[in-house]
Structure 1
Amino acid sequence: MTLQELEPATTVERALAYFDTLQPVTVEQMIGSWRGNGLVTGHPFDGQLEGLGWWGKQFVNPEEVHPLVMDGPHGPFSLNPSLVPLELDLRYPTLFRRTGVQRVMRRALPLLRTKRPAARLRMAEYRGVVSATMVYDTKPVNDHFRRVDARTVLGAMDQRNAVVPYLFVLRREDINGG
């Protein structure tokens, strides 16, 4: 099984089976800017981040992580995740998929920007493998990463009270478009 076979859509079971075959990554290997996209598995978050203009993640160093980098009208900016209602997404998954709600939210997101880091990188065990993990400062969420290739990782967002993880792909990219 390959990542290309799982895109554009798969099941959580197939995605996790693939995730489990991948090698761990180190914290040092995650440093840099990564463009993100969700892996469509039927999770309530499928397409929501993209609908709001999610660009990806930026790992400045192990202590300074910007987990929600958004594509704004004046370039990428970091969103303050403590102001993002993840719990509402799980409870009302169709609410944030509505075009009108996404349009309003996308216009409001620049008001929620921050220059401060909102997560840290640590090595943690998930599904029996110790690998680089992004730990949010204010949310009960850990993003666990596994290496697809030198420039690609598969992430599993493990959130308290979520039945299954949200899976996403990060591809190393210069935040300035390089």
Structure 2
Amino acid sequence: MEPTLLTRRLAALRRMDNVPAEDLDALWADCTPVRAADILGSWAGSDFDTDHPVHGMLAASGWHGKRFESVKVAHPLICRGEDGALFSNEELGRGLASLWDIEFRDEVTASMVYDGQPVVDHFKAVDADSPPTILLGVMNGKGVRHQGRHYYFVLEREA
């Protein structure tokens, strides 16, 4: 699918309240798988209003995004403290994580495996940049699905 069409679809979904999970599933299906080594760096995060409980938890934590130092060292929860400084919230994330290329929904794509909890975030590129600058993420794992639905979020590469 044409990348500019995907970014327009993403922008439209980000403006919505109560985003239908089916729309996020469809966007995910049209995005491009990426490799773990191609997403290293710092990423600013945002999510969708889907009534998923993770949405409120991340907002309350001051979630800023994620940082992938290497495929072996990933910080799943970069948060902004009361003093405005960014920090890796290892307590909330129950440790760090690592990056792997994992099959999810019949495609192999970059995925972040949490060290301290049964959670995996999968990523696909929304844009055609190489390396990608906009990722769609879906959180997967034990106890993550809410009313049968995954939690979706967006990452945008920071300079």
Please tell me the TM-score bracket, short chain as reference.
Answer: 0.7 to 0.9
CA radius of gyration, larger in: 1
TM-score (norm 2): 0.82
Partners in 2 of 1:3 and 1:41 — Cα distance? 14
Identity of aligned residues (%): 37
Shift of 1:48: 2.8
Q: What residue in structure 2 maps to residue 166 of structure 1?
A: 151
SS at match of 2:55: coil
- Cα offsets for 1:10-49 (capped at 9, x unmatched): 1111101110111001112110000001122221222431
The runs of 5 or more residues in structure 2 that have no matched partner are 1-5
Partners in 1 of 2:76 and 2:61 — Cα distance? 14
Q: What residue in structure 1 maps to residue 3 of structure 2?
A: none
Partners in 2 of 1:154 and 1:124 — Cα distance? 15
Equivalent residues in 2 for 1:109-120, closer than 5 Å:
118-120=96-98
**Counterpart amino acid of residue 12 in structure 2:** E
**Counterpart amino acid of residue 48 in structure 1:** M
CA contact (8 A) 1:152 1:169 kept: yes
**Counterpart amino acid of residue 129 in structure 1:** E
- Cα offsets for 1:64-120 (capped at 9, x unmatched): 10100001215100011xx43x9xxxxxxxxxxxxxxxxxxxxxxxxx9xxxx6100
Which of 37, 60, 75 does residue 85 from structure 2 map onto? 75
Q: Alignment length, in residue pairs?
A: 142
Which gives a bigger RCO, structure 1 or 2 (Cα 8 Å, sep 6+)?
Answer: 1
TM-score (norm 1): 0.74
SS at match of 2:139: strand
